[in-house]
Amino acid sequence: MAQFFAYVQHADGVIEDTAAELAAAAKAMGADSVTAIVTGSGVDAAASAAGEFFNEVYKIDNADLAYPNAEVVRKAVAAVVPAGSVVLMSHGTFAMDMGPGLSIKTNAAYIADVTGIDGVDGTTLKVVRTELGGNISTHVNADIANGAVITLRPGAVEPAAGGVGGAVADKSGEAGDLSAKRKFIEVVTPEAGGVDITKAEVLVSIGRGIEEEDNIELAMELKEAIGSKAEVSCSRPIVDAKWLEPARQVGTSGKTVKPNVYLALGISGSFQHLGGIKGGIIIAVNKNPNAPIFQAADYGIEADILEFIPALTEKINDL
Amino acid sequence: MEILVCVKNVPDTGEEEIELDGNDLDYDELTYVVNEWDNYAVEEAIQIADKVGGNVTVITVGNEDADEVLRREMAMGAGNAIHLEDEAFEKSDAKGVATILKAAVDKGKYDLILTGAQADAGYGAVGGMLAAMLDYPYASLVNKIEVGSGKLTVGREIEGGNTEMNEIELPCVLSIQTGINEPRYVGIKGIKQVSGVDIPKFAASDLGLDESSVGEEGAIVKRQDYFIPEAGEGAEMLEGSDDEIIAKLIEILKANGGL
C-alpha cells in the first residue's frame, strides 16, 4: 500500500478547511494513515493544527518557503515523499501550479480536479471527474503503482472528523536545494472603488447565455426594475470578453457574494463560479436542462434568457 | 524571441446540452473549434513578437482535423505551424501529450512556450508537465506578461481576484488564462490566405519516440466513459406558461427580500 500524503495550505497559522477533505479523500482511497505536509517559514501553529486531522505532520520550515511559490514548494515536497506515494492537494490555483510538475518529478500519475472517489482495486484508482467545462462527468481509472498526485475539488467529499492528534516531525533538513528560476515578487490586490456587488441584496447575474454585448442592457433594465437593492454581476466569460468590469465577477477568481437572491441568468454553474456564492437563494434560468447550475440552485427555470429577462422586467415594472 | 504555442482542437460544447451516444459523446453532433484558452495564448505570443521581435510557431498533437486549428491560428498571425500526427498518439493522457510535445521542442529552439491554462478535459496539466520534463521554470494561469532581459515578469491569477507577480527566467513555459488580452478576429479571408501553406508533420518515428510511451498504450490515466450524473434533489423547477412562471418567480422574489 502506497503511503498517503496531503499538502496542507495555510495562512496566518490557520490551515484551510480543505485539509479535512483531503484526509477524508485519502481514507476513501484506502489509506490507513495519512501524513500532512506543511511548508512555510515559521509554521509551527499550522503544523500543529494539521495534526487535528492527520496521523502525522511533516513540517518543512525554511525562509525560501515563506511564500508558497509552487516551483520551490515542489522541490521540497518531492524531496520528502518516498517513491510511489500518493500526494493529495485541494484543487485551486496553487495545486494547478504545482501538481503537474510534481507528478513528473515523482514519476507518478496525475489526476486533476477529482469530484468523487470510487475506491482502489489493486493498483487501479477509480475516480470521477468532469470534462467539457463541467458539463459532463467521466469515470477515470489511474494506474497508481508508481504513486499519484491528485487534486481534489473543494467540497467534493465530506470533511473528515478531527481529533486525530498526529505528531509533528520536522523534515526541514531534508528539503534539499530550494533554488528556483521563478521568484515571487508580490501579490497585487485589485483597486477598490467602483461598483460593490458584495453589498447588493439582489444580484442580476449574467453568463455566456447573454450571447452579445448589446444584450447586457437587458440585465441592466431588470436591475433598474428591481430597484436600488439590486446590482448586475456576472460570470467569468463576460469579464474575459470585457463586456463588464472585473469588479462584477462572482467566483473564486472574483468576488464572494451573499445576496438575499442570486438570479443566475444563462450561467452554466462551474464550481469556480458557485464557489463565490455564499448565501441567499439561487434562482437559475438556463436553456440547458442539464446545466450544473440547476443542481446548485433553489429554483430553476428552463428558458432562453434573451426572451425571459425582458418578460420578467416588464412584469416587475407593471407591479 | 522564439515563441511556441501549444494549441488543441476541442469539441465546441458552448451552452447547449451535450448529447451522449451510450457512454460516449455523440460525435456526429459535435463541431470542433480551437480551445478557447489557446486563442489568448496565440494572441499574447503575437503581441510579444510584435513588441520585441521574434517568431511565433503554433503546434498541436492531433488527427488530420487539427490542421484547421493550426491554420486558424496562422491566420491570426502565427508565422509557422507544426502538426504532430500519428495513430500512436491517439488517446494519450496529459503526460503522453507532454511527452510528444517535449520531443518536438527538443528539435527546435524556443525561448518561450505557451499553452492554454486548460482545455476540454480540464486537467490543465500539459504545460506544467512539459516544463518539468524540460527542466524549465513554469507559471500557470498567467494573466499578465512583461518582457525583460532574459526573463519575464508574469502575473498569475490567484483566488479572490488577486494577482501573484513573479519573475521567471527564460526559457520557460507559461499557461495562459483567458482575459489576458482580446484575441483578434479571424475572417474567412485570413483563413483562405493560409489555406495553401505547407504545414510540416511529424510522427512518432520522426520524433524518436517509443510508441509505447505515448497514446493509449502509454497512458496511465484513462477515461472510461462519459456520463450525465444522476441528478440530485437539485432546483425546484418552475413550470407552466410563461406568465405563470414569471408570476411564481415574482412571488419567490417577494418572499425572499428580492422585491
> How many A/B residue pairs have CB atoms within 8 Å?
260
A143 and A28, same structural domain? yes
Does A133 contact B164 at a Cβ distance shorter than 8 Å? no
Least reliable range by pLDDT among A206-215, A288-297, B194-203, B218-227 = A288-297
> What is the rounded CA–CA span in Å between residue B195 and residue A141?
40
Q: Which residue of A has its CA nearest to B169?
A: A181
- Looking at the predicted structure, is the pLDDT value of residue B15 above 70? no
Q: Hey, what amino acid is at A11?
A: A
Nearest CB neighbour to B122, from listed A98, A102, A112: A112
Is the distance from CB of B62 to CB of B69 less than 8 angstroms? yes
Compute chain A's Rg from CA coordinates: 22
A205 and A168, same structural domain? no
3-state DSSP of B212-250: HHCHHHHCCEEECCCECCCCCCCCEECCCCHHHHHHHHH
Q: Which of B139, B14, B8, B119 is nearest to B69 (CA)?
A: B8
Instruction: Taking the CA atoms of A142, A144, A145 and A148 in sequence, report the sign of the dihedral they define.
Output: positive
Strand locations in A48-164, DSSP E? 56-61, 86-90, 109-121, 124-131, 136-143, 148-152
Q: Kindly state the cell numbers that stand for A19.
A: 485539509
pLDDT in tens, A248-296: 999 998 999 999 999 999 999 998 999 999 989 999 999 999 899 999 9
- Looking at the predicted structure, is the pLDDT value of residue B230 above 80? no
Does B253 contact A295 at a Cβ distance shorter than 8 Å? no
Is the distance from CB of A309 to CB of A293 less than 8 angstroms? no
A146 and A224, same structural domain? no
A212 and A83, same structural domain? no
Contacts of B18 in chain A (CB under 8 A): 132, 135-136, 290
Q: Which residue of A has its CA nearest to B174?
A: A97
A157 and A293, same structural domain? no
Triad A121, A123, A126: Cα angle to 5°: 50
A241 and A286, same structural domain? yes
Total of domains in chain A: 2
Tell me what pLDDT residue B232 has.
Answer: 72
A242 and A208, same structural domain? yes
Contacts of A104 in chain B (CB under 8 A): 95, 98, 128-129, 132-133
Q: How far is A32 from chain B (nearest CA, A)?
A: 24
3-state DSSP of B100-149: HHHHHHHCCCCCEEEEECCCCCCCCCHHHHHHHHHCCCEEEEEEEEEECC
CATH number for the domain spanning A118: value is 3.40.50.620
Does A188 contact B162 at a Cβ distance shorter than 8 Å? yes
A164 and A209, same structural domain? no
> What is the rounded CA–CA span in Å between residue B153 and residue B145?
6
Q: Kindly state the cell numbers that stand for A112.
A: 486533476
Q: Which residue of B has its CA nearest to A265?
A: B15
Is the distance from CB of B38 to CB of B5 less than 8 angstroms? yes
Residue A188 lies in a domain: no
Does B164 contact A180 at a Cβ distance shorter than 8 Å? no
> What is the rounded CA–CA span in Å between residue A110 and residue B93?
9
Q: Cell 520528502 maps to which residue? A: A80
Average pLDDT, chain A: 96
Residue A158 lies in a domain: yes
Tell me what pLDDT residue A134 has.
Answer: 86
Nearest CB neighbour to A261, from listed B169, B228, B253: B253
Average pLDDT over residues A233-248: 95
Q: Which residue of A has its CA nearest to B123?
A: A112
> What is the rounded CA–CA span in Å between residue B240 and residue B243?
8
- Looking at the predicted structure, is the pLDDT value of residue A172 above 80? yes
Is the distance from CB of B70 to CB of B57 less than 8 angstroms? no
Q: Cell 440547476 maps to which residue? A: A294
| ipTM associated with this complex | 0.95
A260 and A157, same structural domain? no
Q: Which of A317, A319, A223 is nearest to A265 (CA)?
A: A223
Is the distance from CB of B10 to CB of B46 less than 8 angstroms? no
Does B123 contact A110 at a Cβ distance shorter than 8 Å? yes
pLDDT in tens, A19-74: 999 999 999 999 999 999 999 999 999 999 999 999 999 999 999 999 999 999 99
> What is the rounded CA–CA span in Å between residue B145 and residue B51?
12
The model's pTM:
0.94
A210 and A69, same structural domain? no
The ranges assigned to domains in chain B are: 2-218
pLDDT in tens, A134-167: 889 999 999 999 999 999 999 999 999 999 999 9
Burial class (CB in 10 A: 0-12, 13-18, 19+), B200: exposed
Q: A141, A174, A207 — which closes off a domain? A: A174
User: Which pLDDT band, with edges at 50, 70 and 90, does B18 fall under?
Assistant: confident
Residue A179 lies in a domain: no
Q: Kindly state the cell numbers that stand for B32.
A: 470542433
Does A100 contact B221 at a Cβ distance shorter than 8 Å? no
Contacts of A296 in chain B (CB under 8 A): 235
Residue A133 lies in a domain: yes
Does A101 contact B238 at a Cβ distance shorter than 8 Å? no
Is the distance from CB of B102 to CB of B127 less than 8 angstroms? no
Q: Which of B221, B218, B212, B217 is nearest to A124 (CA)?
A: B221
Burial class (CB in 10 A: 0-12, 13-18, 19+), A32: exposed
CATH of B2-218, one of 2.40.160.10, 3.30.70.100, 3.40.50.620, 2.40.50.140: 3.40.50.620
Q: How far is B196 from chain A (nearest CA, A)?
A: 32
Q: Which of B161, B191, B140 is nearest to A70 (CA)?
A: B140
Residue A182 lies in a domain: no
Q: How far is B213 from chain A (nearest CA, A)?
A: 13
CATH number for the domain spanning A306: value is 3.40.50.1220
Its domain, for residue A243, covers: 197-318
A132 and A98, same structural domain? yes
pLDDT in tens, A106-118: 999 999 999 999 9
Is the distance from CB of B163 to CB of B23 less than 8 angstroms? no
Residue A185 lies in a domain: no
Does A181 contact B252 at a Cβ distance shorter than 8 Å? no
